[in-house]
């Protein structure tokens, strides 16, 4: 999913942690805003990495390029509007990753335009923050349970099709492994990644 060598593993660690924390915090924040206080009771309304990082999931991500954070527990029955709440909470994580990626890239552009020295290592750290946040957003929007994309899709499906989609969850792990072991995931990830980066550069070119 991310393509590591030793240097990028070290330089990418901040980006991975930031991507995971921002993603889960956004889920928690929007769930509370929609009326469910479960994330607050579970201590997830914080940017403290300890509340969101699953150590095994992080190690797995570094070693085998497939990992996870601690999922935010929510109770959709508490949402003022369940369908809307489900959709917005699901969009919040990927949306926060996209915003984080844009702000990190904007910081890098402004930093260079102001003439500050940008070492190769610092540039790599910043760029990987951008890249990993984009990758997290795209990956989590795959419409496969329990990823966020499936929950967004279910908001638009009739109940019968929702149940059919949810029934795929038992096979999700194997499907994701197959996607990662074949060119399929790259064929999805790389063009979207380039599209988002080009859009960022276009926006920053207009601003600056």
Active-site residue, selected from the candidate residues 15, 22, 23, 24: 24
Instruction: Say what angle helices 6-33 and 120-140 make with each other, to 10 degrees.
Output: 50
Active site residue 160: no
Q: How far apart are CA 70 and CA 81, in angstroms?
A: 25
Q: How far apart are CA 123 and CA 127, in angstroms?
A: 6
Phi, psi (deg, nearest 5) at residue 149: -60, -35
CA proximity to 108, closest of 15, 1, 5:
15
Which residues does the annotation mark as catalytic? 24
């Amino acid at each position: 999913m991310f393509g590591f060598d030793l240097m990028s593993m070290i330089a990418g660690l901040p980006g991975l942690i930031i991507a995971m924390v921002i993603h889960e915090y956004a889920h928690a924040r929007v769930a509370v805003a929609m009326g469910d206080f479960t994330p607050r009771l579970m201590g997830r309304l914080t940017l403290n990495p300890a509340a969101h990082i699953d150590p095994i999931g992080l190690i797995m991500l570094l070693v085998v390029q497939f990992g996870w954070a601690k999922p935010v527990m929510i109770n959709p029955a508490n949402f003022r509007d369940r369908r809307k709440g489900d959709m917005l909470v699901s969009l919040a994580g990927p949306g926060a990753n996209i915003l984080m990626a844009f702000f990190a890239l904007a910081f890098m552009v402004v930093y260079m335009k102001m003439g500050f020295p940008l070492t190769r290592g610092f540039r790599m750290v910043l760029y990987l923050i951008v890249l990993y946040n984009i990758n997290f957003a795209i990956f989590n929007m795959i419409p496969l349970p329990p990823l966020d994309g499936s929950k967004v899709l279910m908001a638009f499906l009739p109940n019968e099709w929702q149940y059919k989609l949810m029934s795929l969850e038992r096979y999700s792990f194997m499907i994701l492994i197959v996607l990662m072991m074949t060119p399929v995931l790259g064929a999805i990830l790389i063009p979207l990644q380039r599209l988002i980066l080009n859009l960022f550069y276009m926006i920053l070119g207009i601003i600056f």
